[in-house]
Amino acid sequence: MKEQAKVSIPTKHGSFMTIAYSSIENDPMPHIVLLNPDTDLTKPVNIRVHSECMTGDVFGSYRCECGEQLDKAMEYVAEHGGLVIYLRQEGRGIGIINKLHAYVKQDEGYDTAEANKVLGFGYDDRTYEDAVAILRDLGVKAIQLITNNPSKIEALEESGIRVDGRIALNIKPRIENLGYLKTKKEKFGHQLDMV
Ligand SMILES: [Zn+2]
């Protein structure tokens, strides 16, 4: 993972130093870091590792809560310092076409975990090595992870990043995503207090 480009971008939450990371130069799908420029990277840093979800993040889909999570994480980081790593692993790592296939299965009655299984994928095919490589490149040694997902904390700790704490992201469930959130809580062990 290497820094390929870096520039400040103003957003509704404030300005972020926006850094593109990839292993190949001109990779059309680089990971993106949104860094609050006032962050002290030598102290434990507030980090959101957000996996791409085009339908939620860009189009505001209510099938999941990804868009709202990203928005809240950006807001938190803008206020308290820290950074968001936007990882290009759409649909828990299976890509958007397969995610849309999985949605079809969900409409047929499968839950989000079963739908992936029926299509021949694991429950969750995401990996976090790239996030760790980016944190190393930025000189981050210890983090406070903005997440509801305990396995994400484990994955980062196993790769040698010190996780000092968790910052919860509480999103109110909607009628459209309540089933999805229940599966996340029951099958994936996510800590969702409002579900
Ligand atoms: Zn999503």
Q: How would residue 68 be classed by pLDDT, with cut points 50, 70 and 90?
A: very high
In terms of residue numbers, what domain contains 11?
Answer: 2-89+126-188
Average of per-residue pLDDT across 50-67: 96
Ligand 1 centre from 140 Cα, in Å? 27
Q: Which of 157, 137, 153 is nearest to 145 (CA)?
A: 153
Query: How do residues 93-121 score in pLDDT, each as one tens digit?
Result: 889 999 999 999 999 999 988 998 999 99
The residue from 48, 63, 126, 130 that is catalytic is 126
The residue from 48, 57, 92, 124 that is catalytic is 124
- Find out whether 44 and 80 touch, Cβ atoms under 8 Å: no
106 occurs within a structural domain? no
38 is catalytic: no
121 occurs within a structural domain? no
76 occurs within a structural domain? yes
- Total domains, the chain: 1
126 is catalytic: yes
pLDDT for position 33: 98
75 occurs within a structural domain? yes
Q: How would residue 25 be classed by pLDDT, with cut points 50, 70 and 90?
A: very high
Query: How do residues 7-23 score in pLDDT, each as one tens digit?
Result: 999 999 999 999 999 99
Ligand 1 centre from 97 Cα, in Å? 13
**Residues composing the chain:** 195
Ligand 1 centre from 67 Cα, in Å? 7
Question: What's the alpha-carbon Rg for the chain, to the nearest Å?
Answer: 16
109 occurs within a structural domain? no
Strands, E, within the chain: which ranges? 2-11, 14-22, 31-35, 45-51, 83-87, 142-146, 162-167
57 occurs within a structural domain? yes
Alpha-carbon gap, residue 62 to 66, rounded angstroms: 9
Question: Which CATH number belongs to the domain containing residue 162 in this structure?
Answer: 3.40.50.10990
Query: How do residues 160-190 score in pLDDT, each as one tens digit?
Result: 899 999 999 888 898 999 888 898 898 888 9
pTM (predicted TM-score): 0.93
148 occurs within a structural domain? yes
Quote the mean pLDDT of the chain: 93
119 occurs within a structural domain? no
Query: How do residues 31-49 score in pLDDT, each as one tens digit?
Result: 999 999 999 999 999 999 9
Q: How would residue 140 be classed by pLDDT, with cut points 50, 70 and 90?
A: very high
Ligand 1 centre from 42 Cα, in Å? 32
Ligand 1 centre from 8 Cα, in Å? 26
Within 8 A by CB and 6+ apart from 34, the residues are 9, 16, 17, 18, 74, 77, 83, 84, 86
